[in-house]
Amino acid sequence: MQLTDRAIAAYLGLAIGDALGSTVEFMTPREIAAQYGTHDKLIGGGWLNLKPGHVTDDTTMSLALGNAILAQGKVEALASAHAFDAWMRAKPVDIGNTVRRNLLQFRKTGNPKAPYSDHDAGNGAAMRLLPVALATLGQTQDEVRTACRAQAHVTHNCLLSDAACECLVFMVQDALHGASKNDLLHKHAHPLVERHPEFRFRAVRQSNNPSGYVADTLQAVFQSFFDTDDFRDCLIDVVNRGGDADTTGAISGMLAGALYGLEEIPEAWLKKLNAETGRLCTTQARALIRIANPQAQRIAVQA
């Protein structure tokens, strides 16, 4: 399987997970079961009353970040901040409280680095990191971490957020290069838990109704990602847990897309995803891979 195909699958997976989860965002598993049985279709609605196949801030902030990276040829904090500010000025369908607060702070100060706060451990930086994973493919771990923090700290300058973002970026990059799910578990997920027990997802109760706290988010994502065997089951499992389902869906879709590839994404979901969103994700994935380290551009992996 070609590297670019996996990159496109990761981006489309993010958007599909976002669209699928938005319908049941802020619902409990019991409420979802009562209304939908098992929620498995891109039907829109939800508290945002979206049209079928439309997405929320998870995808649109990712696209805004990707455009800034492409304009600069690299991940740059100030360019990211300006891109996010322009995105907010365009009145997105949804915006998180931490994102809004720190972007308003950026408008006042011009400083693209938010003040450090342990209270800013939300999932808003983690949900939009895919463009960083693609654009820094093939770079050193230190370079990748620096890029992660450049975009994340615009709105989420927090140790737990950084840990989550960096774990996810390295998981995506390894999956793009053909790593197995078991590789991702032992190389990235388990070490994250060892460093930060807040992210523990094994030997704990199933994460239902996960909040926007990044440890809750990753607990749900990792349980669904590691305990299912294909793209469709992973996304259905995670969004039917409810809570911040657009974001758990987006992150799970990103990981599952990178791991399983385009051919594993259900055709019905691809057709139902908003056509313009799908086009933007596909085009941006290709472009971000092209600006990555030249060594990464030449890599094709076997599935």
How many residues are present in the chain?
303
Structural domain includes residue 147: yes
Structural domain includes residue 72: yes
Structural domain includes residue 302: no
Mean pLDDT to the nearest integer, 5-32: 98
**What pLDDT score was predicted for residue 300?**
41
Structural domain includes residue 70: yes
**What pLDDT score was predicted for residue 297?**
46
Looking at residue 198, its amino acid is E
Report field, pTM of the whole predicted structure over 0.85: yes
d(CA 55, CA 124): 15
Cα–Cα distance list, 98 to 124, 148, 212, 213 (Å): 8, 18, 11, 11
Is the confidence at residue 301, as pLDDT, over 50?
A: no
d(CA 98, CA 249): 20
Indicate the average pLDDT of the chain. 95
| pLDDT band, residue 303 (cuts 50/70/90) | very low
Rounded to the nearest 5°, which phi and psi values hold at 67? -65, -40
Is the confidence at residue 136, as pLDDT, over 60?
A: yes
- Please provide the DSSP assignment of 259-291 as one string: HH-GGGS-HHHHHHS-HHHHHHHHHHHHHHHHH
**What pLDDT score was predicted for residue 159?**
98
Name the maximum alpha-carbon separation found in the chain.
51
d(CA 105, CA 85): 10
**What pLDDT score was predicted for residue 294?**
58
Digit-coded pLDDT (tens) for 265-289: 999 999 999 999 999 999 999 999 9
| pLDDT band, residue 203 (cuts 50/70/90) | confident
Q: Which residue has the higher pLDDT, 96 or 298?
A: 96
Is the confidence at residue 298, as pLDDT, over 80?
A: no
Q: Which residue has the higher pLDDT, 296 or 50?
A: 50
d(CA 51, CA 33): 21
Question: Is there a contact between 284 and 67 (Cβ–Cβ < 8 Å)?
Answer: yes
Structural domain includes residue 23: yes
Say which CATH number the domain at 190 has.
1.10.4080.10
**What pLDDT score was predicted for residue 295?**
45
Q: How many helices (DSSP H) and strands (DSSP E) are in the chain?
A: 16, 0
Is the confidence at residue 163, as pLDDT, over 70?
A: yes
Digit-coded pLDDT (tens) for 87-128: 999 999 999 999 999 999 999 999 999 999 999 999 999 999
Structural domain includes residue 112: yes
Residues facing residue 300 across a β-bridge: 2
Domain count, the chain: 1
Structural domain includes residue 303: no
Structural domain includes residue 280: yes
Domain that holds residue 166: 3-297
d(CA 45, CA 93): 13
